[in-house]
Structure 1
C-alpha cells in the first residue's frame, strides 16, 4: 500500500525507534541486522536510508467515468511542479495501474530531503499550483500521500530502456522487522541483479508505516515471467523470498503503465 497503494499495499518504512521492551531488540531483530547496524539505538533511517532525497508517493483513486479528464488535469498539475525552478521538485514517475486496483494512479515526487519538501510546501499555497491541484479534486474518489526514503544500497535509477511495463511490489511488514527485511533482501537482490536491475526501492517514512516498495521494469509480461523463473534457479533467491515473506503481513504486485508525461517510460 503505497500509502495503501492498491487495495492493501504498500511500503517500506519505519518511523523512529520504539521505546518500551528492548529498543535494541526492536531495531536489530536478527544477527544480520546486528551486523548491519553496529550502532546501538539508532533510528532506522540512519542505518539503512540513503538520506539524500525524500520521495512523496501520491495515490489517487479516480472516478471511472472521469479518467480522461483526470489525466489532463494531472499532467497540468505535476508538470507545473516539475517546471517551477523555485519548488525544486522532480518527478520520479507517474503511473496508472492496469493490474491491481483499477482507476488508480501513482505519482512519485522527489524532494531535496526534508528541507526541500518544506520549501515546496511553503511556496504552493496561494499559487497556480494550488489552483491546479484543486482542479483535480472533482475527479477523485480518494487520495493519500506517503513520504518515503530510498534504501542506501539501491538508489533510484532511470530504466535502461524505454517502453514496457512497470511492476511495483509492495509489502506491509510486521512492526520492528524492517532492518531484518533489509538485510535479507539486500543479499538476495544481488542475485536478481544478474537478470534485472531494479528501478528503485523505498520504505515508508511518514504516512502508513512499516511498508516497503521496489519498482521493476520489463518489456512485457512474458519477459517478467521468464526473468522471475530464472531468478529461482539462483542460489540465495529462494531463501530470500522465504525469509522476507515471514516478515510481511501483506504483499501486493501492481502492474503499472507510465503516463505520457512520466519521466520513467
Structure 2
C-alpha cells in the first residue's frame, strides 16, 4: 500500500514538473514575441520583408508619373444581355473619340474567359492628371447622347466598379498589340504600407520578364480599392503563357523576388482576358 502511494506521488511530481516547464516555455515564447513586435526586429520579419527607410515623399510620386492617370472599369454583365452591352459600349467608345475637349483614350477592352465570367474590363487613359478627369466628366455628363448610352448600359449590368490608377515607372511603356493574343490580369491586394516594398522588388523582378514580349502594363490604385496592384501580361495563347512562366522560374533571381513579395500580399487572383473587337490593343 505504501509503495503504491509513493509511486503515485512520484508520478504527480513529475507531471507537475513537466507542466511547470511547459508554462515557463510558453511564457518565455510570448515575451519574445512581444519584444519582437515592439522593436520591429523579429527574426522572421527580417527574413521575409526588407526594411524601407521612412520618407516624406509621397509613395505615388516615387513610383509613377502622375500626369497620366488610368481608369479601370470592371463591368459584371447579365448573361442574357451580353450582345446588347457590347453594342452599347462600342457606341460609347466611338462617342468619346469624336467628342472635342477631352483627353480620354481607350487603351484596351477585354472580356473575361477564365475567372469571373460575363465580366468585361476596360482600361482608359487620361492625359493631364486629375484635372483632365474633372474636365472630361464635366463635358461628357453634359452630353445628352452619352447620358442616354450610360443609362442604357446600366440596364445590362449586375454590378460595376471603377478605379483610378497610376502606372509603375519601372514597367515597360504600353505598346498596343496586333494579331491574335490573350491577356492575363494578375491582381493583388497588398498589406497597407507595403507599396514601396512591392515596387522595390518588382523593379528587379520585371527584368526577368523583359526578354519576352509579354509585359503589357503594371498599375497601382489611387482611388477605389486601395493597395491594389494590377499586372497585365500578353501571350499568344495559354501554352505560351505556361512556357514563359516556367522559363522565368529558371532565371536566377526570380525565385528571390517572389519570396520577398509573397509576404506582402493579402489576396491575389488571375483572370484570362480576350480583346473585344473594338479594343485598340488586340
The alpha carbon displacement at 1:195 in A equals: 2.7
Q: 2:256 aligns with which of 226, 230, 239?
A: 239
Distance 1:155 1:115, change over 3 A: farther
TM-score by length of 2: 0.79
Measured in 2, the distance between the counterparts of 1:52 and 1:154 equals: 16
Q: 1:173 aligns with which of 190, 194, 197?
A: 190
- Higher RCO (Cα < 8 Å, 6 or more apart): 1
Counterpart of 1:131 in structure 2 is 148
The alpha carbon displacement at 1:99 in A equals: 0.4
1:86 aligns with 2:127: no
- Report the aligned-residue RMSD: 1.7
Instruction: Give the stretch that moved more between structures: 152-161 or 165-174.
Output: 152-161
Counterpart of 2:202 in structure 1 is 185
TM alignment of 1:225-236, pairs within 5 A: 225-236=242-253
Counterpart of 2:133 in structure 1 is 117
Q: 2:85 aligns with which of 35, 55, 70?
A: 70
Q: Matched residue of 1:90: which SS? A: strand
Q: Which runs of at least 4 in structure 1 moved beyond 3 Å after TM superposition?
A: none
Q: 1:143 aligns with which of 160, 170, 189?
A: 160
Measured in 2, the distance between the counterparts of 1:83 and 1:47 equals: 35
Measured in 2, the distance between the counterparts of 1:204 and 1:85 equals: 28
Contact 1:150 1:202 (C-alpha < 8 Å) held by counterparts: yes
Measured in 2, the distance between the counterparts of 1:249 and 1:256 equals: 23
Structure 2 alignment gaps of length 5 or more? 1-48
Contact 1:82 1:88 (C-alpha < 8 Å) held by counterparts: no
Q: Matched residue of 1:193: which SS? A: coil
TM-score by length of 1: 0.84
Measured in 2, the distance between the counterparts of 1:211 and 1:130 equals: 30
Counterpart of 1:15 in structure 2 is none
Say which structure is richer in helix. 2
Contact 1:55 1:148 (C-alpha < 8 Å) held by counterparts: yes
When Rg is computed on C-alpha atoms for both structures, the one with the higher figure is: 2
Contact 2:70 2:164 (C-alpha < 8 Å) held by counterparts: yes
Measured in 2, the distance between the counterparts of 1:124 and 1:144 equals: 19
Q: Matched residue of 1:246: which SS? A: helix
